[in-house]
Structures are given as C-alpha cells and as structure tokens.
Amino acid sequence: MSIKPILIGVLAAALSGCVTPSQNDVEAGVDQATGTALPKISNAWQTAGNQGPVQVGWIASFNDPTLTALVTEAQKNNLNLASAAAGVEQAQALARQAGANLTPDVGLSLGGSRGGQLESNGAGPATALNAGVQVSWEVDLWGRIRSGVAQASASAQAAAADYQFAQHSVAASTTIAYLTSIEASMQTQIAEDSVDLLERANRIVQAQYTEGAASSQDLALSKSDLAAAKEQLVLLEGSTRDALRALELLLGRYPSAELILGKTLPALPAAPSAGIPSELLERRPDLVAAERNVAAAFNATNQAKAARLPALSLTSNLGGTSNQLSSLLDPSNVAWGVGTSLLAPLFDGGRLRENVTIANAQQKAALADYANAALQAFSDVESALDQGEVLDARLEALQEAADQAAEAYRVAELRYKEGETSLIDLLTIQQRVIGTRSSLSSVQRLLLQQRVNLNLALGGTWN
C-alpha cells in the first residue's frame, strides 16, 4: 500500500479542524475569559471619592525637593529594580529567540580528509576537500511556532509591566520610608522633651523632699516616671536608626543610619482623584502583567495542541568536493539537493496529550491569578479611600485633644505654683500632653502614607 494516500489523509484531517487560531482570535478569547473571570464591577467606588482622572506625577504633589531627590536616586540604584530590569531584558531576548524559529536555519560546512591505499611506488595518501551550505526550515503549518512566538511576546509584555509596577512600588516604598524616618525623629524629639520635663519635675520633688514638703512616695513616683521616659527615648532612638537604614537600603546605599533628613513632615497633599473601578484594569501595571500572563497561557495551550500534529520540514544543501582547493567550487564538482520530510507523532506514551492537559491547567491558573489580582487591586483602592476618611476624622479629634490637653496643662501648672494642686496631678496632665503630641504626629504621618498607598493602588505614575 502506498504511503502517499495516508499522508494526504493526515494533512486533510489536520487542515480541516486543527489549525491554530489567529492572534486576533486568541486576544478576543483572552478578553472574554478575563471578563468572565471577574465579578460584576461597580460603576463607582463604594467610598466617596473624586472620579476625575488619576494623578500623574504624584511625588511632586508633596512639594518636597528632598523626597523627590531620594525617589529619583532609588529609581537609579535600587537593586530589586536592577534585577527586574534584567528580567525584562531576558524576556525580550526569549521573544526574539522564539521569532527566529520562523526563519530558515543556514549553515556552512568546511572539511577535509586524507586516505587511500599505500602503493609500492611510495605515493602518499590522497586529499579530499569539501565545502557546503545547508538550509533547513520547518514549515509552520499549524501555527505551533507562531503560538510560541506569541507566548514569548506576551510574557515579555508581562515582564515589562511588572517592571513598571516595581518602579511605582519603589517610589511608594521610598516615600513611606522617608515619612517613617521623619516621624521617628519627631517622636524622638517628643520623648526628649518628656525627659527634660520629668527631670525638671524630679529636681523640684527632690528639693521638696529634702525640705520635708514632699513624701518619699512622691519622690519614688517622680523617679519612676523619669526612668520610664528615658527607656522610651532609647527605644525611639533605635527605631529612628532602623528607619534610616531601611531607607538607605531602598536607595542602594550602605545601611549606616547616617542619612540626614528634616525634622518636620511635608504638608498633606489634596486627596487624588480615583477615577472609576473599570479603568483600574487597564491602568495598573500589575494587572496588565496578569492579563498578559493569561494571553501567554492561551498561546501555550495552542502551541501544545499544534505539537500533536505532523511537522513538515524542508531541507536543501549545496556543496562541492575536490582534492584541490582551486577546483573546489568548479561547477563539475558541485552538487545540490532538496528534500522534504513529514513527521507525524504516532506513539509517545501520552506525552504530547498530557502537555495539552498541563497547558490547560496553567491557563486556568493564570485566569484565577488574574481575577485574584484584580480583586486585590479593587480592595487596595477601597481600603485606601476608607482609611482616608477614618484618618481625617482621627486627625480632627486628636487636634482637639491636643489643644485641650495643652490648655489643661497650662492651668494645672498655674495651680501647682499656687499650691492648689498636687505634683502627681500636674505630671499626669503633662504625660497626657506628651501622649496627644505623639498620637498627632503618628496620624499626620499615616495620612501622608494613605496618599501614597492610594496613588499606588490607583496605578498613578510617580514621575
């Protein structure tokens, strides 16, 4: 029986229903699948917010030249960013490498040999020289190679988007570390003020005790409060150094805790516009990366399916053989040939079939990862918006508490000098003043951090 009818039948069957979808069809399938994977998206954020365009260049809104310089330095020197950039280069090279499979392979061969029979007249062995050009090309009948190229290209796009989000994250992390370092310094200053006040009070109590006007209980209480304040100061000084080292690491510097910063937090920028939820899917780089990973998985599935079909290869060679270099390319010594081969997988123990199963499972995982990333992104925005309202209310209440505590201390100090209140009462109010100052500084920093987190969650660009 002739093999030709069998081959024709195999080709006809494959062409009739197994050709790989076009890239337009693949992208349409990705759009449909990612849309189906998500729950219904609201037309507006649940927490009230401005639906105007999302902010671009949000670092400038802090109006802090030192912060701007530090973020720029981090973008240049951060080692995690350098690693991510190298990953983008690798992914792009892999995409170009996959595209090379669509072109023929051309090779040049040169060689020589010596051999023959030893003659009685002493003649030496004969020398044969050969040179040739060989060309081979796999015809991409079913789009297997094209699917591989599309997969690699989508993966490269995902890597580029991940790198962009890494840039956003480094800008946000640097800003938060900067704010944390300043707040730590402010808290240290508050603790130093507390120690100074308690040392002054302790000297007064010591003098009163010597004169018999204060009891040993008053003296012990004063010394206890002073020791506790000193312990808190040591703790905060260590926290300040830790915060500076964390910032230095982000900047790519040696973590020496020697960075010198200002002593006050930047002014609070206005809350950024939040846009609408559906825009987040196309704006946040990490979601773009997740969607491109889905596209890569779809193409990988198509590639695995096409690998089960026959592979058609074309080969050609042109070469010459001669015992003299000068006549090596003489037309009489040159020969050429063209060949074709069709390799159809018949039995592989189910390897190719299971490759399709694996690719399908990876496609499902990519879709689940995309949906999870999208839901987390929506949650990031909703939480940041809600936190803004909570912190605004806390700031207003704490500011009132700080003002009233300061007034209470002023009155108590006057009464203490007139002998109308005890030292214990004065110290109690004094510590309340210190506590409200500390809480106020923390909330001020948290509000600035909320602006950073909201901009990052919205996919706003830092520069």
pLDDT tens-digit series, residues 49-107: 677 788 888 999 999 999 999 999 999 999 999 999 999 999 989 888 888 888 888 87
Q: What is the pLDDT of residue 28?
A: 92
Q: What is the pTM of this model?
A: 0.84
DSSP 394: H
Give me the residue spans of the domains in the chain.
Answer: 20-102+141-309+352-458, 104-139+310-343
Q: What is the pLDDT of residue 7?
A: 46
Can you read off the two tokens belonging to residue 150? 């599309």
Q: Could you give the CA distance from residue 153 to residue 94 in angstroms, rounded to a whole number?
A: 8
Homologous superfamily (CATH) for 104-139+310-343: Outer membrane efflux proteins (OEP) (2.20.200.10)
Distances (CA, A) of 205 to 177, 221, 409: 41, 10, 18
Q: Could you give the CA distance from residue 268 to residue 265 in angstroms, rounded to a whole number?
A: 9
Q: In this structure, which topology does domain 20-102+141-309+352-458 adopt according to CATH?
A: Outer membrane efflux proteins (OEP) (1.20.1600)
Q: Could you give the CA distance from residue 368 to residue 370 in angstroms, rounded to a whole number?
A: 5
Low-confidence ranges of the chain (pLDDT < 70): 1-19, 48-49, 111-127, 319-337
Number of CB atoms found within 10 A of residue 423's CB: 18
DSSP 339: E
Q: Which residues contact 182 (CB under 8 A, 6 or more apart)?
A: 261, 262, 263, 264, 265, 445
3-state secondary structure of 238: helix
Angle of the 65-77 helix axis to the 79-100 helix axis, nearest 10 = 50
Contact 343, 307 (CB under 8 A): no
Question: DSSP string covering 425-449, please?
Answer: HHHHHHHHHHHHHHHHHHHHHHHHH
